[in-house]
Amino acid sequence: MNVNLEIPEKKETINDEVRISVRDLNLYYGDFQALRNMTLDIPENAITAIIGPSGCGKSTFLRLFNRMNDLITGVRVEGIVELDGVNIYDRDIDVVELRKKVGMVFQKPNPFPMSIFENVAFGPKRHGRKNRVELEDIVEKSLKQAALWDEVSDKLGQSALALSGGQQQRLCIARVLAVEPEVILMDEPCSALDPIATLRIEDLMRELSKNYTIVIVTHNMQQAARASDMSAFFMMEEDRAGVLVEWGATEKVFTNPQDKRTEDYITGRFG
Amino acid sequence: MKKPLAPRQISQRTAFTFLILATIIVVIPVIVIIAVIIVNGAGAITWEFLSQPPMQAGKAGGIFPAIIGTFYLMLGTIVVALPLGVLAGIYLSEYARDNWLTRTVNMAIVNLAGVPSIVYGLFGLGVFVLMFHFGMSLLAASLTLACQALAMTVTTSREAILAVPREYREGSLAVGATKLQTIRYVVLPQARPGIITGAVLAMSRAAGETAPILVVGAAFFLPGLPQSPLDQFMALPYHLYTVAAHVPGMSKTTIWGVALVLLVVVLSFNVLATIIRLRARRWRYGT
């Protein structure tokens, strides 16, 4: 199967300001090495797509940046992940502050079983914003940013679970935006959505990338080609550890891959 | 007209017959018990019976102090067993590491439910009545029943908390909520119906217990209602036991009447627990 890869017009130049840099990173689950020798830069205010076959550690890699892997017992991280020049794996890092700065959208839309309003206000409230008017402003602004306001402005008090899958995912994006993060991580955010909802999320991502640094894991090659500025291709080695095969401007990775494995994968010869 | 049944169909029907028979056999005693109590006891239920203190060793008058005593006991039990149970449930599900100590503690708590109730009674007598000098009292009895109820409140809280999907916790942590905030604002509200169901069932069980309160403070007859937690009290199950077994010439209708009131108290709490569970389920699916 040959995938027809249409590369839309991208930003003229990719911002060469590095937002996150990963150096010599190894990650282990107990004895099992999940990520090996990863070195990679993530540019500011751009979309970086992580692509590769299932089980090669893409989600694990993404969860490095908000230290979500910490929740799993037996995880060990070696190497450096610098956000704005600070190693987020330093011992004195406040993980809660880090997660305010680095928001995350998950594979399956996971709005809380609360009203639409309470979902978006959840983060700001936890960070001490209690003023009702202020919260209303934040909710409206976040929902507008997430391109959901027009659809829900008249039913903010209703259960978020009554929304469609695509709306729920945009609500989750609004929930993240409400805490004013600088980096947004997206773990296959469209895999549970239909093609139209998917396109809406992609449009939204492009819009958000003007002001946010976005890292997205995706299984969908067309999505990576359409929506991202930078692409990083992951593979598994013999021992199932994930390695970074190639990374660079999406256009380059997709039209002129340097590594035979990247070419095979994006043209659908395996994976 | 009909084809003869194949052996496969015969075994199907036989199995079906046995299964339905077993179900009927299980259900019949429940229905019979409830029916017998209602038929025999309904005649005793009058306003006077529900609102007056007993007279002539329960042969006349009513059972008002026993009803109130039982409600006090349920209240006292749950006031102690619910907060402790929820806090321990939170610790065991969210904070305790999965090691042999935690597993031992979990097993011990589950096994608490299997300890015979009279053993709790003796424990309460030794610890609350004698050692802490609470005397034979509502307080000692509530604490004793609370120890017994803890097995249920801890277990149901823990299970209800563990059943909250991981996605919700991650969603909360991912916007920078602390672990405590995540528990307080996401996990507990989700687990609440399960926790309340467990609490209500624990209360209904406390209402029905006879053996433990026998030795820590229940009285057969008191002139008035308990005025403080350190007073003795009357309770429905103990009252039923004494009028049925120890008062000669007792009217059968009165005995059945006490049983009926006790049954209604206990069953209504069980029904309440079911309603809470069903309502919570409806909410969860967003309709």
Cβ distance A73 to B283 less than 8 Å, yes or no, reads: no
Residues in A touching B286 (Cβ below 8 Å): 113, 159-162
| Cβ pair A96:B177 closer than 8 A | yes
What residues of chain B lie within 8 A of the CB of A68, using their CB? 170, 173-174
Confidence of residue A5 (pLDDT cuts 50, 70, 90): low
pLDDT (tens digit per residue) in B47-80:
999 998 888 877 888 899 999 999 999 999 999 9
Look over chain B and give the mean of its residue pLDDT values, rounded to a whole number: 90
pLDDT tens readout for residues B195-220: 999 999 999 999 999 999 989 988 88
Tokens of A167: 């709306």
Assess A179–B contact: CB distance below 8 Å, yes or no. yes
Which chain A residues are closer than 8 Å to B175 by Cβ? 99-100, 103, 122-123, 126, 175-176, 178-179
Q: Which residues of A touch B284 (CB under 8 A)?
A: 113, 161
- Residue positions counted in chain B: 287
Residue A90 has pLDDT above 70, yes or no: yes
Indicate the pLDDT class of residue B181, thresholds 50, 70 and 90. Answer: very high
Give dist(CA B168, CA B170) in Å, integer.
Answer: 5
CB contact under 8 A, A104 and B176: no
Q: Across the interface, do B171 and A175 touch by the CB < 8 Å criterion?
A: yes
15-54 in A: which are within 8 Å (CB) of B?
none
> Does residue B1 have a pLDDT over 60?
no
Give residue A85's region: left, alpha or beta (phi > 0; psi -120 to 50).
left
Mean residue pLDDT across chain A = 89
Predicted local confidence at residue A16, as pLDDT:
67
Residues of B whose CB is below 8 A from A98? 176
Which ipTM value was assigned to this complex?
0.88
Which amino acid would we find at residue B211? A
Average of per-residue pLDDT across A36-49 = 93
Q: How far is CA A1 from CA A162, A236, A258, A265, B22, in A?
A: 39, 22, 21, 11, 59
- For the stretch B242-268, pLDDT in tens is 999 888 888 899 999 999 999 999 999
pLDDT of residue B280: 76
Give the strand order in the sheet containing A86-87. Answer: A86-87, A75-83, A18-29, A32-43, A242-249, A230-236, A47-51, A213-217, A183-187, A102-105
CB contact under 8 A, A123 and B175: yes
SS3 state of residue A133: helix
For the entire predicted model, the pTM comes to 0.83
Q: What is the pLDDT of residues B4-25, one digit of tens each?
A: 778 888 888 999 999 999 999 9
Number of CB pairs, chain A paired with chain B, less than 8 A apart: 75
**Residue B68 identity:** I
pLDDT at A266: 83
Q: Do B177 and A123 touch (CB under 8 A)?
A: yes
CA distance A122 to chain B (A): 8
Contact A159 B286 (CB under 8 A): yes
Q: How far apart are CA A260 and CA B29, in angstroms?
A: 75
Do the chains contact at B174 and A103, CB–CB below 8 Å?
yes
Q: Which residues of B touch A186 (CB under 8 A)?
A: none
> Does residue B138 contact residue B111 with C-beta atoms inside 8 Å?
no
Contacts of B31 (CB under 8 A, 6+ apart): none
* Pairing label, strands A75-83, A47-51: unpaired
- CB pair distance less than 8 Å for B168 and A112: yes
Angle, vertex CA B159, rays to CA A63 and CA A123, nearest 5:
40
Tell me, what's the pLDDT at B59? Answer: 81
Question: Quick one: pLDDT at residue A104?
Answer: 96
B186 pLDDT exceeds 70?
Answer: yes
Q: Is the pLDDT of residue A14 over 80?
A: no
Taking CB atoms and an 8 Å limit, are A111 and B171 in contact across chains? yes
Distance from CA of A68 to the nearest CA of B (A): 8
Task: Note whether B120 and B152 are within 8 A (CB).
Answer: no
> Does the pLDDT value for residue A270 go beyond 70?
no
Q: Which residue of chain B is at minimal alpha-carbon distance from A162?
A: B286
